[in-house]
Amino acid sequence: MFGFINIFKQKGMTSHDVVSRLRKITGIKRIGHAGTLDPMAEGVLPVAIGNASRLIEYLTDEKAYIADLKFGIESDTCDIEGKITTKNEREVESGELLEVLEHFRGEITQIPPAHSAVHYNGKRLYELARQGIIPEDIPARTVYINKIELLEFNGHSAKIEISCSKGTYIRSIVRDIGNVLETGAVMTGLLRTQSGRFTLDTAVLLDSLHTKYDVEKNFTDSFSVLPYPVFSLKESDFKTFMNGVAINNVSEYIEGETVLVKYKDKLAGVTTKMGNKLCAEKVFPLEE
């Protein structure tokens, strides 16, 4: 089996739970996912089956979410499932929230939550947090927020839509919004609506998949989710390309550009344009 499937991860499951279920259904061990979702989050989770897991690094990074947040509360996990650490009764006004959101557009710096999978001195932050250790020098990271819009608001809670770069922690954004407002805020729900070219409207429920055939018939076309130009391989060049030999006399494409190679409507490999050649980076057997 070879392909991507767009899973709708439901609340309560980890991303690893999804992979484990798919391994049992398909009998395939080599399965990976793109972009971890916390157990309380739901939505789009791209999963690569078989050798398609070698293509995860080529997927685009943009993510989009709809987040629910509650004002007047802070927790150790930055969400409603954590231990409440402070409370504040002040009601937020819509005008001040809209003004604060303006500061979260474009390039921003954020500190990941203490309960997160970020590595710190060889350990995951959540492993340290479970031991009661919260480092005071968690490294900040720079992320990019393409869009942040207010969808709903009632003074005590809100719903916001966010489009952002890879590695953005929505819980951190919610926490930081609460800090700027001086009321505190926690995330109460999170829906991922997009991950690269995978979108909510094509996501399938894990519970609807029972056999390898169910999984395979829901595969997403690899060429549609990999944002690169496609070169059609001639039959005469197929065997040599499968052995890692470069494709010669190619005048199209930009120097250094990633180019997908197609043979008989299947993905045969990933190449890089170097001079007048397409040099093989990864090849995939035709039987896949």
Active site residues: 38
Backbone phi, then psi, for 228, in 5-degree steps?
-135, 155
Distance CA 266, CA 283 (A): 11
Taking residue 180's Cβ as centre, other Cβ atoms within 10 Å add up to: 15
CB-hemisphere CA count at 13 Å for 70? 17
Strand partners, 67: 160, 190
**In the block, residue with structure tokens 């789009």:** 44
Distance CA 50, CA 41 (A): 26
